[in-house]
Structure 1
Amino acid sequence: MRRWGTALAATVLAGGALAATAGTAGAVTPATSTATATAAACATGWGSGEKTVEPAGHAPLADIRTGRHACFDRIVFDVPGATAADRVGYRVGYVDTLHQDGSGEEIPVDGAAILEIRVAAPSYDPGSGAESYPGRAREPLPGVDVTGYQTFRDTRFGASFEGETQIGLGVRARLPFRVFQTDGHVVVDVAHSWNAVSGTR
């Protein structure tokens, strides 16, 4: 298991980006807006570099959902009980190959690029050991269908190992993304294109 790094995502989470999305973090329905609002929403500088936040707790993962929006595709990790004070740590970044935590075995993921997402929320209750999320290694995420998405191409469950859940998200290309948290959620948005999102890579 790789160590948690420094909080590289701090500047991404600051200011208007978090405030603008906090109220709809769990929403996974297609966004609707005027052309002006859509253009404004897409004008953000996310970049495609790794984004990391240290964990403050290890509440169990309850669900993983996806949705389509005007400027991006979204994946939401539901972690009930997690708050700003008891935040869920994460590490999100592009990898050439997804290797399963623990075994190191390669997990094939469809798409031109692979976004590895690690969330410090196990798929089981740390106290009782009871399963809290029914992910299975190498399999698509249960109940998630990304057919017809503009950016997402595939999802694969990697492992839940030492308090951390690992998944592979196949995307159309190496595109900008952001990660933020609200109470009970870790949210990853991947932009539809570089043209829609300004900023450095």
Structure 2
Amino acid sequence: MPPTLDGQLTIEKTPSYFITREAPRRIAAMSRDVKLMIVVRDPVTRAISDYTQTASKRRSVAPQRPFESMAFTNRTTGLVDTSWSAIKIGVYAKHLERWLRHFPLSRVCLISGEKLIADPAAEMRRVQDFLGLKRVISEKHFYFNETKGFPCLMKAERSGSPHCLGKTKGRTHPRIDPQAVARLRDFYRPFNMKFYQMTGINFGWP
């Protein structure tokens, strides 16, 4: 972690922190004053998105197995493969439990991935308030890119073109068997309900 001077905030990020078992203890040992921000989205959509991202990288190496064969250890019984990282990431309640052993919920800002797309300015207001920053980012800093299906960030007037997510974002998801999607929703539902109870936030996932 780089040194932080008075009046500065240092931000470090990686998706793996949230799910790495040792991370909460190690970060708490470094400082219990850190503020934690976690972006979550519908875990079924997230699993399909992770699969799509991985598949796009593997095409030049070897064909990717179908999503359904990776998500289930047994399609007949509907047994979900919880060892697959794309599935494991979405069990948010289990991951958050580890963090709450070391940090109070007041030091955690949970950001809705769906709202970050639908209304990025509103979510950024929450982030700025959470970090104790002056509200600088607002609606005028975003526009929705219809091609990508994501909002893009408008740069300062003198800095040129808007900044959009790279080509690895906004890929079209493959068609997944509706029965597989329904089974995954059944699997995640109790974990989602527990997550809502733990955080006091209903993210509205099906």
Query: Which TM bucket (shorter chain)?
Result: under 0.3
More helix by percentage: 2
Larger Rg, first or second structure (1 or 2): 2
The one of the two structures with greater contact order (alpha-carbon pairs below 8 A, sep at least 6) is 1
TM, length-normalised to structure 2: 0.24
